[in-house]
Amino acid sequence: MKQFKAADLEELPSRFRANLINSCTGYKSLNLIGTQDSDGNKNLAVFNSIIHLGSNPALIGFTFRPLTVQRDTYKNIKETGVFTVNHVQEAFIDKAHQTAAKYPTNTSEFEAVGLEVEYIEGTFAPFVKESTIKYSCTYMNEYPIVENGCIMLVGAINALYLNEDFIASDGWIDLAKANSIAGIGIDGYIKGSKPIRYEYAKPDTNPQKK
């Protein structure tokens, strides 16, 4: 088995090291975050760092890299206090990937990559119309990660929109049925297969499949 100690990682070429460490953490959620500034400039950016923080209240978190360059998503969220999260589905992986390109602030990634803007129930931040699982969020807080200069941002879910056929009787969402895509590292993508679910784990019972 190949071994990389901390000292070995420091000696690796930067791109190889970035791919290695980004991939070793496993599959990641893959979403497009939609924002808009007060002048109406729309922004859309792919993120693979969104995580569940709690269900009551419904909170999510995600990270920004250091603010050493222009981060339009961060700027827009701080300016307006709102954003949308849109699952990436199989039909538009290429377009989602392209949003990572460094477009000027006054260029809408929606238009640049060919995704349609959608506003639901008067939301200020734009949704991706093509996405079949999406939700709107309000900025709640942020926490600096002092070790590397990144920022963890916390958002509260205001409203969740999805196809009812994706929801199991217990509220669980079948992401494979929705054709939602997961991320691997920086630029890899994978489609889920049929999920395996188990009953709630208890000390006095063996694992039972649902």
Closest to 28 in 3D by CA, of 66, 62, 65, 57: 62
Report if residue 153 sits inside a domain.
Answer: yes
Please state the three-class secondary structure of 177-197 as a single string: CCCEEEEECCCEEEECCCCCC
Look at residue 200 and tell me if it is in a domain: no
pTM comes to: 0.93
- Look at residue 67 and tell me if it is in a domain: yes
Which residue from 193, 157, 16, 17 is spatially nearest to 83, judged by alpha carbons? 157
How large is the average pLDDT for residues 49-67?
A: 95
Question: Residue 70's pLDDT is what?
Answer: 81
pLDDT tens-digit map of 61-78: 999 999 887 889 999 999
Q: Which domain holds residue 172?
A: 24-191
**pLDDT digit string (tens) for 135-155?**
999 999 999 999 999 999 999
| pLDDT on residue 194 | 83
Residue 61, in any domain of the structure = yes
Is 54 inside a domain boundary? yes
Sign of CA pseudo-dihedral 50, 51, 53, 54:
positive
Q: What is the pLDDT of residue 84?
A: 98
Q: What pLDDT, on a 0 to 100 scale, did the predictor assign at position 131?
A: 98
pLDDT (0 to 100) of residue 152: 97
Determine the average pLDDT of the residues in 112-138: 97
pLDDT attached to residue 67: 80
User: 90-126 burial, b if ≥16 CB within 10 A, otherwise e?
Assistant: eebbebbbbbeeebeeeebbbeebebeebeeeebebb
Q: Where residue 145 sits, what CATH number does that domain have? A: 2.30.110.10
Give the chain's domain count.
1
